[in-house]
Structure 1
Amino acid sequence: MGLSFLSHTATTIALIGVAATACSYTVSRFLHARRACRDLPQPPHSFWFGHLIIAGKIFSCYPPDSYFHHLLISLSREYDLPDLFYLDLWPFANPMVVLCAPELAAQITTEQAYPKDPAVGHYLSPFLGKSSILSVSGPKWKALHSIFVPAFAPAYIRTMADGILDEVLIYHDNLCQLAKSKQPFSMSSVTIELTFNVIGRAVFKNPFHNEKGRKFMKNFKSGLDHAFNGALSTCNWLLNMVPKWILVWKVNRYIKKKVTSRFAKLRSGEMPSVNKSRTILDLLLQQKLDSSKGISGDSEFIEVAVSNIKTFLAAGHETTAHTIGYVFMLLSKRPEVVRKAREEHDTAFSPDFNRTVEMIRENPEKLYELHYTTGIIKETLRLFPVSSVARAKGEGMTFMYNGKPLNLTDQVLIICHLAIHYNEKAFPSPCEFQPERFITQTVPKDAWRPFERGARGCIGQDLAMMQMRMVLLITLRSFEFEALGINPHDNSMASYTTLDKEFGNLIYQMQSLSARPIGGQNMIVRFAKGHEAYVNRT
């Protein structure tokens, strides 16, 4: 009896201790969030609610699931905040410092390579795994980066031009069929099929055209949606957990089979050395064969390989596809820009479709002569940046503001691309679509940053730019696009842009792994008048 009483007492005391510790930790975090950076510029702050109430009011003006950066730039404009301000959304997010100027963004990316915020790994790992190059830092990131750089070197990207062109021609044929049908379609879905097959060539050397490949592509996209589009935050979260984990398992199984099959053949000598290959998979296999580079043990190697193959597949298809969709949306209302682009394509290549295709195959470097077309892409990325940056202050690193060092040890540093890209000092008339600004004007070196800058900038930006140049060259003279679902606003909803007076809610992006367009970019495509020669290629 006595021993039983003592046992229960000990258990009770232990539980009280755990509860007290948890309560103490929560209070400590609460006080830290409410008191941290109290001297920094910030919107009106509540001791009890931080910035949650004003953030909620601003977010309520936007469509559901809007991109977080809409909130950041709106706070900046609404309260006339300077280029750096503090934001306290605890307990829903760690306290953060928002950077809205090119020179401040440069401090944590190019002048010093601040490590990724650890929360990025927690966010990405359920689908991408724990060893993704997007989330790791320090020596592990350096080792992975050194492995993958050769796959995206500009010289090697040019050798991929034939394969990319094959995919773009299939895309052109698909648009022809849609133009003949005269039916609405999702530009995002059609273009994602293109970009997924292109990144498939970069990863595996082969696209996903066969039945197994198409099934994998479907599972991968569904898994991505479940992981990052808020499916698990609904009232059916428990039901959604089952399909999510099944999809992750199916995706992992497909990739593991690819990795182990090729690795076994390499070990047995059935396949030639991968020394001359630069696909993502073969570079990983070469690293495995070279024990001096750091990943030892088959299980660890498989985990790293699967995680990073998923990373490149995810990052390599969504952002490019959505940007292409935004290009077509913007050009649907700008016939003069389309005319200039078509003239450039006729001049730099040929008015003849088949000859244009031949010229790309003969000399893909001619794509770099498309300066106006490149301006269209860059201006679209300026207006609709798709990436996000969250960094943490590393040991021994400093951050200067107004000539003084700031102690940002426990803060998340967020670069607000929208605020920088809509900065009138860097981009005069920032709400206007002006491709010429990247040809005739001098853009401050750190102001245009859709791929980010510095060592941790997007490793695949040359592949993305080549692909987008090629898409516009092959399609713009064949088709005209009409964006559907446009309901222009009488008054701008946002303080930073007037584009919603032209396109309504379509200009607002949704929160996901990257910033996604609202509604799948529904469009109708028609054959361009006077360009019938581009409709039926031989």
Structure 2
Amino acid sequence: MVNQTMSSLGNSSGLIGNIWLPNKVMALIATILAITITAWVVRFIQYRKSYKEYASGIPCPPFSTLLGTLKSMGDQYAHAPMTAHPHGIMTMIYDKYNLKDMFILDNWPFFRWRQIIICDPNLAAQCTQNHSLPKSVVTGQYVGHITGKRSILLTEGLEWKKNRALFNQGFALAHLTTLMTSLVDEVEIFRDVLGKLADSGEVYPIEEAAAFLTIDIMGHVVLDISLNSQTMKSELVEYFRNSISWTPKIVATNPLVNLNPLGPIMRKYYEWKMDGYLNKVLDTRFAEKEGSATKSKKKPVIDTALDEYILQQEEDNVALGDRGLDQIFKQVSIDQMKTFLFAGHDTTSSTIAYTYHLLGKNPKCLAKARDELDRVFGTDTSRTGDLIKENPSIVNQLPYVFSCIKETLRRYPPADTARHGDDLVLEYEGRQYPTKDFMVMVCVHTIHHREDLFPSPYEFIPERFMPAPDNFQEIPKNAWRPFERGFRDCIGQELALLEMKIVMAMTLREFDIKSDYETWDRKLGRKEPGGILNGTRGMFGDRAYQELIASAKPSDGMPARIERRTHN
């Protein structure tokens, strides 16, 4: 009995020990969790407090310790399309809260970095012109699958400097005029496309038609080949457009949209297809050159890269028969070509569409542009292309048409610049603001729509940009920046402006082109056709708001009705 009792006690104490041990472990885990959570909460509060200290004295959107500025962002998206480009949202925030030259956003944990939003030309100059902040890694995460990681859009330091200097010559205006015949020929095809659309009576996304034009032009400028995407399907163009369609969404109605497992696979697939296509083009071009640099003044961008490579091999005394293309060189060159093809066609096509849109809504401005074209080219519109080929500089005799293009770029800037802070300290109103560990966004859209910089900012007033004394106002220094400014301004801006002047010269007197969202919405079965639905289908009272699809593009591709003019 005693033994049984002792045995029972032994078993009981073992059972108690077994119960006590897990409880002790659980208590330890609970203590660790409590300490961790407490430390996290303290750190979180300190982090939010540091925002208040940094932003003190700067008008900013409403801020809460729990949500930071997320609610302020959400309030604006509630009255805007979910596909809206973020720069339009920044302008809404700026207007809503009567902000000034810069403001700070803290959207952690949904966005890793705090953001300094620059809304002032002088502050913009500090971080792009006086000192060029490095590009934000966010840019690479967003468009790297389209441009490639070695793109001059994404690289820094000596690599960027070398490639920028190398390719600058391919986009110099003097060189571009040697390609004028190819440019005019492509615009003549575009004019035929518009004619067919006019004859069909179909409402069609004009940005899409313009995109095929601009990528065909880039085919000549970059690769010296005809992509023919305006008249037939182009393999390379299909790869590009499909790659763009798989670009991650920054904001979406469905938060799971970026978790689609096919996304990374499809982006990688189309990157591989584009690289393969351009790899063959490089090999073919290199073989055609037979180891010799181009002697002709007409030199496409691809030859600029190959000639530099050939000259380097000559300096290294590589025998002619041993010369081949190094894989690193090929990848760097391919990434630059993808960058030029993407950036060079995507933003230009949007501006062409928006120029038609604004001129269609402002008939007096359209009449003035047509009168100027009549004075310069004569009333026989069929001769316009030939006159440009004979005298390329004639397009520089169109100050009003050019002002219409510049005003369009002010109203609908194609892009902003996102930089990553470094040792730069911004000087503002007697205070210093370090940029380290911040993302710095120069919001061009907001700068372009400030009443004090551009009076009546939402009106289309081309006279702003006319040469004195015919100008509406003096443009404040550094205020107009659709191509950004400084060391890293857009390498292709001269080409973009040249293209747009040629397009307007050769089409404005041939066609009446007006956006027609009402018919388009009705075709798609949408409610309240043509309406903006309390802002959820438009911005700033404008149905043709800018969407974010790799760049700022007109909503729905700018559906337009095109009619042939019965008189000139």
The alpha-carbon deviation at position 335 of structure 1 amounts to 1.5
Match of 1:248 in 2: 271
Match of 1:238 in 2: 261
For 1:489 and 1:522, the matched residues in 2 are separated by: 14
Q: CA RMSD in A?
A: 3.1
Partner of 2:150, secondary structure, is coil
Check conservation: 2:197, 2:562, Cα contact below 8 A.
yes
Match of 1:6 in 2: none
Match of 1:81 in 2: 99
Instruction: State the one-letter code of the partner of 1:457.
Output: D
The alpha-carbon deviation at position 264 of structure 1 amounts to 3.7
The alpha-carbon deviation at position 521 of structure 1 amounts to 0.7
The alpha-carbon deviation at position 29 of structure 1 amounts to 8.2
1:345 aligns with 2:364: no
1:458 aligns with 2:493: no
Partner of 1:511, secondary structure, is strand
Distance 1:22 1:106, change over 3 A: farther
- CA-to-partner distance for each residue in 1:104-142, whole Å, 9 max, x for gaps? 111112222222123322333233221111111111111
Instruction: State the one-letter code of the partner of 1:520.
Output: G
Instruction: State the one-letter code of the partner of 2:50.
Output: R
Partner of 1:406, secondary structure, is strand
Question: Counterparts of 1:149-298 in structure 2 under 5 Å?
Answer: 149-209=168-228, 214-228=234-248, 234=257, 237-266=260-289, 268-269=290-291, 273=294, 276-291=297-312, 298=326
Match of 1:405 in 2: 432
Instruction: State the one-letter code of the partner of 1:412.
Output: M
TM-score, with length taken from structure 2: 0.82
- Aligned pair partner of 1:391 in 407, 413, 419: 419
1:324 aligns with 2:352: yes
The alpha-carbon deviation at position 425 of structure 1 amounts to 1.9
For 2:104 and 2:299, the matched residues in 1 are separated by: 43
The alpha-carbon deviation at position 214 of structure 1 amounts to 0.8
- CA-to-partner distance for each residue in 1:214-250, whole Å, 9 max, x for gaps? 1211121111221255799527712444433322221
Instruction: State the one-letter code of the partner of 2:387.
Output: M
Match of 1:370 in 2: 398
Check conservation: 2:422, 2:435, Cα contact below 8 A.
no
Distance 1:28 1:459, change over 3 A: farther
Check conservation: 2:115, 2:438, Cα contact below 8 A.
yes
For 1:30 and 1:289, the matched residues in 2 are separated by: 59
Check conservation: 2:146, 2:342, Cα contact below 8 A.
no
- CA-to-partner distance for each residue in 1:440-478, whole Å, 9 max, x for gaps? 131112111111111111111110011101111110111
Match of 1:90 in 2: 108
Distance 1:128 1:357, change over 3 A: closer
The alpha-carbon deviation at position 55 of structure 1 amounts to 0.8
Instruction: State the one-letter code of the partner of 1:59.
Output: Y
Q: How many residues align?
A: 503
Match of 1:421 in 2: 448
Check conservation: 1:37, 1:86, Cα contact below 8 A.
no
Match of 1:7 in 2: none
Check conservation: 1:63, 1:505, Cα contact below 8 A.
no
The alpha-carbon deviation at position 277 of structure 1 amounts to 5.0
1:314 aligns with 2:342: yes
Distance 1:305 1:27, change over 3 A: farther
Partner of 1:505, secondary structure, is coil
- CA-to-partner distance for each residue in 1:475-532, whole Å, 9 max, x for gaps? 01110013111566699849x985x2xxx422x211132111111111110011213x
The alpha-carbon deviation at position 25 of structure 1 amounts to 9.6
For 2:105 and 2:301, the matched residues in 1 are separated by: 39
Check conservation: 1:382, 1:450, Cα contact below 8 A.
yes
Question: Once the two structures are aligned, what percentage of the paired residues are identical?
Answer: 32
Partner of 2:103, secondary structure, is strand
- Aligned pair partner of 2:549 in 512, 515, 519: 512
Q: Is the radius of gyration larger for structure 1 or structure 2?
A: 2
Check conservation: 1:195, 1:320, Cα contact below 8 A.
yes
Gaps of 5+ in 1: 1-16, 532-538
Instruction: State the one-letter code of the partner of 1:255.
Output: L
Match of 2:78 in 1: 60
For 2:272 and 2:195, the matched residues in 1 are separated by: 36
For 2:81 and 2:70, the matched residues in 1 are separated by: 18
Question: Counterparts of 1:491-502 in structure 2 under 5 Å?
Answer: 493=535, 500=541
Match of 1:535 in 2: none
For 2:359 and 2:264, the matched residues in 1 are separated by: 40
Check conservation: 2:293, 2:311, Cα contact below 8 A.
no
For 2:345 and 2:259, the matched residues in 1 are separated by: 28
- CA-to-partner distance for each residue in 1:316-347, whole Å, 9 max, x for gaps? 00111011111111122222111111110010
Question: Counterparts of 1:32-47 in structure 2 under 5 Å?
Answer: 32=47, 35-36=50-51, 38-40=53-55, 41=58, 42-47=60-65
TM-score, with length taken from structure 1: 0.86
- CA-to-partner distance for each residue in 1:152-209, whole Å, 9 max, x for gaps? 1111111121111000000001111111111111111111010000111111012202
For 1:523 and 1:33, the matched residues in 2 are separated by: 48
Deviates more, 1:254-263 or 1:236-245: 236-245
The alpha-carbon deviation at position 352 of structure 1 amounts to 0.9
Check conservation: 1:275, 1:286, Cα contact below 8 A.
no
For 1:447 and 1:116, the matched residues in 2 are separated by: 21
1:336 aligns with 2:364: yes
Deviates more, 1:37-46 or 1:84-93: 37-46
Partner of 1:227, secondary structure, is coil
1:356 aligns with 2:384: yes
Instruction: State the one-letter code of the partner of 2:274.
Output: V
The alpha-carbon deviation at position 299 of structure 1 amounts to 1.9
Deviates more, 1:354-363 or 1:472-481: 354-363
The alpha-carbon deviation at position 64 of structure 1 amounts to 1.8
For 2:156 and 2:299, the matched residues in 1 are separated by: 23
For 1:237 and 1:92, the matched residues in 2 are separated by: 18
For 2:310 and 2:431, the matched residues in 1 are separated by: 49
Deviates more, 1:479-488 or 1:132-141: 479-488
Match of 2:475 in 1: 443
For 2:36 and 2:159, the matched residues in 1 are separated by: 34
Instruction: State the one-letter code of the partner of 1:279.
Output: P
For 1:485 and 1:424, the matched residues in 2 are separated by: 28
Distance 1:482 1:122, change over 3 A: closer
Deviates more, 1:444-453 or 1:479-488: 479-488
For 1:158 and 1:27, the matched residues in 2 are separated by: 63
Instruction: State the one-letter code of the partner of 2:237.
Output: M
Partner of 2:361, secondary structure, is coil
- CA-to-partner distance for each residue in 1:270-302, whole Å, 9 max, x for gaps? x663674532211111232243999x9812112
Gaps of 5+ in 2: 1-31, 317-323, 519-528
The alpha-carbon deviation at position 34 of structure 1 amounts to 6.0
